[in-house]
Structure 1
C-alpha cells in the first residue's frame, strides 16, 4: 500500500482556533471529525515579534514531540502524518503584517515552517487593501515584491480577505497557482468577504483552489445557516470552474467583543459574537458530515476526494515542490 492509497485526506484550509495555547482543547474535535490536516493561523495583523512568539511556540511543540501532531512543510509531511496517526499542522498567516516592511522577514518565517500567507486581512496594509476598505486601492508596489518573494520561496499566496482589486491584480502578477483559503461565492451571498465570479475564474485559471467557508454570515443573512448552504457554494464554484478547484476552509471561531474590535470586523457584514455555526457543520467534530453531503449533491467519488483535501494538496505540491 502506498500513502496515496489511504482514505481521503480531510484538510481545513482555515483554522484560526488551532494555536499553541488551545491545541490540546481542540484536538478531540479534530480527531472526532476525522481531520488530517489544518492550516493553523499563526499570525494575522500582529507585528514581527508578536507573530514570531507564536511561531516559536509551535516549534517547541514540534520539538517536544508530546502531542500527536506534526508541523508539515510539505505534502509528503501531511501524508506521513496521516499514515502515523497524527494531525498535520501547516503554518498559515491570515495577513502579511508580520513581515512589516522587510521582504527578508518572509525568508525567516519560511525557514520556521510558514508555507501559506494571505496578502491582507480586513483592512489596508503595506501590501494592498483588505476586503472592508471602501477605496479598494489594489495591490501596492511592495505587494508585488511580496508575491515575487513568496513565489521564489515556494510559498502559497492566499487571497482570502483581500479587496477585489487587490486580489485580481495579484492574480495578474502571479506565475504560480494562487488560493483562496476560505470564502464563498458572492453570487449566492452578497458580502465583501465572499468572492466574485471573476476572481474565482482567475484563481482557477492559475490552477488554484477556493475553500468554501462555514462562517454563518458568509452563508445567509436570514435565519440559521446549514450544511446544505455550504454545499450550495461548493456546487456553484464547481459548476463555474470545475470541482477540481473547490476545497474546504471552515474558519470556525469563538470570539468575543474584544476580538471583534481587534480584528476590525464591520458590523454591516459581520454581527457581534457569539456566532452560531451551521447545523451539521458547527465544529471540526462534525466535519465527517461533508463526504455524504457532497455525494448526495452529485459529486463523484474522485471529486469528493478532491474537495475534502486532495485539491489543496495538488496545488500545494505544485507550489512547494514536495
Structure 2
C-alpha cells in the first residue's frame, strides 16, 4: 500500500506519473491535492505557515472586486516557491516540470479567461424595467435600502386646527374617512397612505403663523413640538422620534417612519438664542429662518426691502451651526438666503421650495442661488404645491419632474431632494395627490434613461442624509474646539407684550 506524508493510505498513487507521485508522497503541506492531494483546487496555496495573522493585518487596506476592504483571503496569495513542498531530491524541486504543473497552468489560464469574459458582463448595465409596474417593484426594493425622506409636512398644524391638539381619540389609520379630514383639501396624510408611499423619514413642521409674532409665538411652537412628540408616541408601532442620522437609519431598518421636528418661522424664537437652544434640546433639527413675514433680524419672501440678515441674524446661523441644527431657507428673501449661505459653515436646505426659472414664485429658488447651494453642499427639496410648480391652479407629476431636472441640471444630482409640503397645501399635482404617491414619482424618473438607480436614491434620501451628517460633523468639530454658546441679543424693543425684564 502506497502512503503519503502522515501515513494515510492512497492505493491509487501507484497509477500516477512517478514525478507527481513522489511530490505527493513527500509534500509537507496538509493539502487535498485535487483529489490526489494537490493544492490546485484551492487556487491559492494553503500552507498554514504562510497565512498572515488577521488581527495584525486588519488595518491594512486591500481591494477586492474594486471595493476597498480590510480583509480578504485573496489578498494573501503566496508564490509557489514560498511553500516549498520539497522532498529534498532534485526531482521534487523541479517545480515547473510534470503533469501537476501543467494542470496548474491550465487552471490559471481558465480562470483568467473566465474573469476576462465575466468582467464585461458584470460591468454592463442592467436592462431597465420596461413597464410602470416593474419600475414600482424596483422602487420598493430601492426604498428598503435607503429611506425616502420628505423635508416638510404640515400635519401638526391640521391637528391643531381640526382637533385642538387632542389626540387621545384620534385614529391616524382612519382619519381619511372622518370629518373634517375626509373633505378638507388641506388633508393628505394618514398612516395607511404613508405606508403606501414607502416613506422612510419625515420632518414634521412645528409651524407658527406670522400673526403670533410678538405675542405667543414661543408658546404655540412649544405646543406644536409637544403635539408632534405625542403623535409619535401614540402611534409608536409606525413612528419613532429621531434626532440623528444614525437614528434615521436604525429606525428605517426597523420598518418604522423616522420622525423629525422642524420649526417653521424664525419669529418662533421670540428673538432669543436661549429659545433656539431649548427647541434644539426638545428635538427640533431644523429652523426655517423666516416665514412670509420679516423678523427683526431677517427678511422673508414678502419683504419690500433689500435687507437680509442683521448681526443678530448672523448669530442665529452661527448658533445653529454650533448646535447641529440645519438651516432652512425656504420662505426667506433672496438677500437673506445669500447672507445665510455666506455665514453658515454647514450645508443648508430649502425644505420645501422649487425652481424660480420654471415658476417665478417668490418661494422658489433662482438659478444663482441654486449654484450657491451647490457650492455650500446643501439640498433644495422640491415642493408639490401647484402654485409653486406651474404658478397656477393645476400641475402634473411631469411638471414636478421638470423642477427636479432643472435643479439637477443647475446644481447637480447631489443637491436635490423632496419636500412636498403635504397638509400645508390645498392644490396638488395630478399623480401626486397625497403621501401615497411618492413611489410613482420615482418610478417615472426611472423611465428616463438619464436617471440611474443611484440618482433616484440620492434624490429620495441620500442627499439629505449627507447634509445632516455634515451638520453633525460641524457641531462635533466646534464642540472639540470648545466653542461656547453665543449670548447675543436683539436690541431692546418697546413692545407692550414684553416685560420690563426682557
CA distance in 1, matches of 2:422, 2:311: 33
1:236 shift after superposition: 0.7
| Runs (4+) off by over 6 Å | none
Match of 1:49 in 2: 219
Match of 1:230 in 2: 400
Check if 1:36 corresponds to 2:200: yes
Give 5+ residue unaligned stretches, structure 1: 256-274
- Give secondary structure in 2 for the equivalent of 1:120: coil
- Match for residue 11 of structure 1 among 131, 134, 149: 149
What is the TM-score when the length of structure 1 is the normalising length?
Answer: 0.87
1:53 shift after superposition: 1.6
- Give secondary structure in 2 for the equivalent of 1:288: helix
CA distance in 2, matches of 1:23, 1:58: 15
- Match for residue 347 of structure 2 among 164, 177, 200: 177
Deviations 1:41-90 (A, max 9, x none): 01334511111122123334455664421111011111111111211111
CA distance in 2, matches of 1:127, 1:228: 38
Match of 1:71 in 2: 241
Contact (CA 8 Å) 2:387, 2:393: kept in 1 or not? Answer: no
CA distance in 2, matches of 1:5, 1:82: 10
Match of 1:94 in 2: 264
Match of 2:94 in 1: none
- Give secondary structure in 2 for the equivalent of 1:179: strand
CA distance in 1, matches of 2:247, 2:460: 17
- Match for residue 252 of structure 1 among 418, 422, 437: 422
Contact (CA 8 Å) 2:373, 2:379: kept in 1 or not? Answer: yes
Check if 1:145 corresponds to 2:296: no
Contact (CA 8 Å) 2:204, 2:228: kept in 1 or not? Answer: no
Check if 1:313 corresponds to 2:451: no
Match of 2:255 in 1: 85
CA distance in 1, matches of 2:275, 2:238: 29
- Give secondary structure in 1 for the equivalent of 2:463: helix
Match of 1:272 in 2: none
Specify the structure having the higher radius of gyration (Cα). Answer: 2
CA distance in 1, matches of 2:411, 2:391: 26
- Match for residue 294 of structure 1 among 421, 428, 445: 445
Deviations 1:104-124 (A, max 9, x none): 111111111010111000111
Match of 2:432 in 1: 281
Contact (CA 8 Å) 2:233, 2:239: kept in 1 or not? Answer: no
- Give secondary structure in 2 for the equivalent of 1:214: coil
1:132 shift after superposition: 1.3
Match of 1:191 in 2: 361
CA distance in 2, matches of 1:75, 1:29: 24
CA distance in 2, matches of 1:23, 1:52: 23
CA RMSD of superposed structures (Å) = 2.1
**Further displaced range: 26-35 or 152-161:** 26-35
CA distance in 1, matches of 2:386, 2:324: 33
**Further displaced range: 40-49 or 73-82:** 40-49
Contact (CA 8 Å) 1:120, 1:162: kept in 2 or not? Answer: yes
CA distance in 1, matches of 2:227, 2:391: 38
Contact (CA 8 Å) 1:193, 1:218: kept in 2 or not? Answer: yes
Contact (CA 8 Å) 1:120, 1:127: kept in 2 or not? Answer: no
Match of 2:15 in 1: none
**Further displaced range: 60-69 or 177-186:** 60-69
Give 5+ residue unaligned stretches, structure 2: 1-141, 160-164, 176-189, 477-502
Contact (CA 8 Å) 2:353, 2:383: kept in 1 or not? Answer: yes
Contact (CA 8 Å) 1:130, 1:136: kept in 2 or not? Answer: no
Match of 2:191 in 1: 27
Label 1:276 to 1:55 Cα distance change in 2 as closer, same or farther (>3 A). Answer: closer
1:126 shift after superposition: 2.6
Contact (CA 8 Å) 1:136, 1:166: kept in 2 or not? Answer: no
